[in-house]
Amino acid sequence: MSGILDGKRVLITGVLMESSIAFHAAKLAQEQGAEIILTAFPRPTLTERIAKKLPKPTKVIELDVTNDEHLGRLADIVGEELGGLDGVVHSIGFAPQDALGGNFLNTPFESVATAMHVSAYSLKSLTMACLPLMQNGGSVVGLTFDAQYAWPQYDWMGPAKAALEATSRYIARDLGKQNIRCNLISAGPIGSMAAKSIPGFSDLAAVWDDRSPLEWDLKDPEPAGKGIVALLSDWFPKTTGEIIHVDGGLHAIGA
């Protein structure tokens, strides 16, 4: 039986640990028939070690999404490896420590600018770097953390995710004529490396214990990975500019 990504070529960012959503997206994508390539920064060797746990071998390339030189050479490197692309997964987010953990009112602009550049503007940068390889259309999928609300400890990553969500809509608008879709998965909290870097992350995650209609497991990134693979597939051919919640339903529940 064929997979829903048979024949698809997908670039995936953000594979840092087995516990990361991006790792499970990569694993599921391979299981569903895709050829994939991974990017990593700042330690490609770490991603190379994790990549050995995927069902099939895959190439890892260094990519700093704030580095114009890295972005400029990306299409050539990926093109040599895969020939083209049908999908891109943006699983990139970063904020300096002084932009997190209850320091919202005291965070300097330099730290805010870094969070915005890496976490939001990079969706546009990455998409445009890959655009020459997506001659037959394709799907761009990013990861957000519901930016409708002010979350405990999340601070400037909240506005950064709001900017990411808006950026996705504008990419959807401007690339729709090229049959390129851009959507986001809004995932519940996962105990990944990125999450563990947030001071007081346990306070944020505890919200799910009380309010999520479906039981939420911090140790299970697979549901979000499945959401990514579904959006990469042809099963959402006319869906773009959308945010799909994979959060146990918490987004629908009031206090």
At 193, which CATH number?
3.40.50.720
Residue 204 lies in a domain: yes
Residue 252 lies in a domain: no
**Lowest mean pLDDT: which of 40-44, 199-203, 232-236?**
199-203
Mean predicted confidence (pLDDT) in 44-70: 97
Supply the DSSP string of the chain, one letter for each residue: ---TTTT-EEEE----STTSHHHHHHHHHHHTT-EEEEEESS-HHHHHHHHTTSSS---EEE--TT-HHHHHHHHHHHHHHHSS-SEEEE------GGGSSS-GGG--HHHHHHHHIIIIIHHHHHHHHHGGG-TT-EEEEEEE--TTS--TTTTTHHHHHHHHHHHHHHHHHHHGGGTEEEEEEEEPP---HHHHTSTTHHHHHHHHHHH-SS---TT--HHHHHHHHHHHSTTSTT--S-EEEESTTGGG---
Residue 78 lies in a domain: yes
Binding-site entries: 14, 20-21, 64-65, 92, 95, 161, 190-194
Q: Which residues are catalytic?
A: 154, 161
Residue 55 lies in a domain: yes
Mean predicted confidence (pLDDT) in 94-106: 95
Q: Could you report the per-residue pLDDT of 18-30, keeping only the tens digit for each?
A: 999 999 999 999 9
Residue 2 lies in a domain: no
Residue 83 lies in a domain: yes
Give residue 197's pLDDT band: very low, low, confident or very high (50, 70, 90).
Answer: low
Mean predicted confidence (pLDDT) in 178-186: 98
Residue 255 lies in a domain: no
> Is the pTM of the predicted complex or chain greater than 0.85?
yes
Domain that holds residue 81: 9-247
Please determine, for residue 196, whether its predicted confidence score (pLDDT) is greater than 70.
no
Residue 97 lies in a domain: yes
Give residue 71's pLDDT band: very low, low, confident or very high (50, 70, 90).
Answer: very high
**Count: domains in the chain:** 1
Binding-site entries for substrate: 95
